[in-house]
Amino acid sequence: MSILDWHVAERPREKLLTHGCSTLSDAELLAIFVRTGTRGKSAVDVARNILQASGGLRSLFDCDAKQLTGIPGLGPAKAAQLLAIMEMARRYLSTELQQRPVLGSPKATRDFLQLKLAGRHSEVFCGLFLDAQNRMLAFDELFQGTIDGAAVYPREVVRKVLQYNAASVIFAHNHPSGVAEPSQADHRITERLQQALALIDVRVLDHLVVGSGRSVSFAENGWL
């Protein structure tokens, strides 16, 4: 049955406009993006199939262009649109962090880092460089590694801090396994970075480990 044959109150687009985005399921939200169904299937049916094939909404948005185009129901045009939506979300959050104190918007910081790092197939170690008002001066992917680690060099981090004239820094890296729990190596490098940056009066405010749908904060756990 086509969505046009549904009662108006049950159609995803009309439901969204009347009751808001939060009332829609993942499949209904994706159906608005998909727009059309196929023979014998509504747009919601197609959306459910896409979510099932990708492993859910979060996994879908963690896919790269090649993975997206390999999902039945998504061609190059739809894949490009999804990637554009995600990039707009990243840029929106980046602008928010540049205009507002990072410490005053921890959710925006986590969301930004989740969008930047979750789903990456190799480990990436990053820095959010902040001014004296805790606004973001720059986001930099400092080191890239393999599926199970990235070499981090404190000397290079110090050089970047001086380049951006940062007053403080938040570090973040992803675990491609999806498990956000910090390793002993993560604790050791955080301590080394703290010691190196203390020599130039720059504070490490936090180190976040990003996994699949979750991030762990060193600051929140009292590890800094």
Domain residue ranges in the chain? 3-87, 101-217
Give the pLDDT band of residue 198 (cuts 50, 70, 90): very high
**pLDDT value of position 184:** 93
CATH topology of domain 3-87: DNA polymerase; domain 1 (1.10.150)
Q: Do the beta carbons of residue 91 and residue 98 sit within 8 Å?
A: no
**CB atoms closer than 10 angstroms to residue 208:** 25
d(CA 210, CA 93): 16
d(CA 128, CA 136): 6
Going from the C-alpha of 99 to that of each of 54, 95, 134, 157, 174, the distances in angstroms are: 35, 6, 10, 24, 25
Q: Which residue has the higher pLDDT, 60 or 162?
A: 162
Give the single-character DSSP code of 160: H
Q: Which of 44-58, 83-97, 99-113, 128-142 has the lowest mean pLDDT?
A: 99-113
d(CA 178, CA 68): 19
d(CA 61, CA 67): 10
Q: What percentage of the chain has pLDDT greater than the value 70?
A: 92
Q: Mean pLDDT over residues 68-93, rounded? A: 84
Q: Mean pLDDT over residues 100-126, rounded? A: 81
Tens of pLDDT, residues 6-39:
655 567 788 888 888 888 888 888 888 887 777 7
User: Do 3-87 and 101-217 share a fold?
Assistant: no
**pLDDT value of position 38:** 74
What's domain 101-217's superfamily in CATH?
A: Cytidine Deaminase, domain 2 (3.40.140.10)
Q: Do the beta carbons of residue 66 and residue 111 sit within 8 Å?
A: no
Q: Record the tokens describing residue 121, joined without a space.
A: 């197939």
pTM greater than the 0.75 cutoff: no
